[in-house]
Structure 1
Amino acid sequence: MKLQFLTPTLHGALDYTAAAALIVLPFLLGLGADSPIALWLSVAGGAGLVLYSLLTDYAFGAARVLSYGVHLVLDLLAAAAFLAAPFLFGFAAFTSYYYFVMAGGVIVVVALSERPTPAIDES
């Protein structure tokens, strides 16, 4: 069984779903109660995801200036930031769990996403 089964098209659909969750969930869960940065980091992460998804060369991209491979790297950088944020900003336990779950979700999606095939130079 192939472990990387999420096509770029499916990955793109998940991107916009995740972005909506990152923007809406902190308000619904009251993440800003212990630290305003806890709320706004998630919102900024969701907005950033929308932005670089629109710039990605895949079915849900608009400008298509970023390769899908670069998009996957940006996803992993976002996951790393979400993993580091609770330690850097001293978030409360619930907020820390939120960021760990979000980071874990990103890592799982990247791990299950198909990898771009490198271009072959036939010169």
Structure 2
Amino acid sequence: MNAKPISPKMHGLIDYALVGSLLTLPSILGLKKTVRNTYAAEGLALLIYVALTDHPVAVKPLIPFPVHGKIDPFNVGQFALQSFLKPFRKDKKTLLFNLGFTALAGITVLLTDWNGPTKTSK
């Protein structure tokens, strides 16, 4: 039995939800335009990367799922580090959103079964 409860399919669905949150929540929360633009760019980049990863909900499975698993920690680290940038650090709402997003993404990475079934391994 695998101790990691998040399957590749669930990871892909969570990633799409995270993309959706990056593209919508900063505006709903009324975050500053520079922060909203940063999140929009990150969300679009993440959408392409997620859609092209080999998992059951992929659009075009080009990136092997284990490779996605090696890249994800760098993405999480990048979100953590941006907490120190002035537009994120100086606004409490922005900082809390960024820290929460980083935590959710990090927990998802830690709990994912990187060897589970993908779109091409069925």
TM-score relative to the length of structure 2: 0.83
AA aligned opposite 1:76: P
Percent identity of equivalent pairs: 25
Moved more, 22-31 or 66-75: 66-75
SS in 1 for 2:77: helix
Q: How many residues in Structure 1 have an aligned counterpart in Structure 2?
A: 114
What corresponds to 1:114 in structure 2? 113
What corresponds to 2:21 in structure 1? 21
Deviation at 1:2, TM superposition (A): 4.6
Given that residues 53 and 60 in structure 1 are in contact (C-alpha distance below 8 angstroms), is that contact kept between their aligned partners in structure 2? no
Hey, what's the Cα distance between the residues in 2 that align with 1:29 and 1:74? 29
Deviation at 1:66, TM superposition (A): 0.7
AA aligned opposite 2:82: A
Hey, what's the Cα distance between the residues in 1 that align with 2:47 and 2:5? 22
* 1:44 to 2:41 alignment: yes
Which structure has more relative contact order (CA 8 Å, sep 6+)? It is 2
Deviation at 1:28, TM superposition (A): 0.1
Residues 37 and 78 (structure 1), Cα distance of their counterparts in 2 relative to 1, 3 Å cut: farther
Deviation at 1:90, TM superposition (A): 4.3
Given that residues 80 and 102 in structure 2 are in contact (C-alpha distance below 8 angstroms), is that contact kept between their aligned partners in structure 1? yes
Deviations 1:98-122 (A, max 9, x none): 11110000000111100227xxxxx
Deviation at 1:62, TM superposition (A): 2.2
Larger Rg: 1
- Structure 2 runs not aligned, ≥5 long: 117-122
Hey, what's the Cα distance between the residues in 1 that align with 2:36 and 2:15? 19
AA aligned opposite 2:99: F
What corresponds to 2:119 in structure 1? none
Q: CA RMSD in A?
A: 1.8
What corresponds to 2:60 in structure 1? 63
Deviation at 1:73, TM superposition (A): 2.8
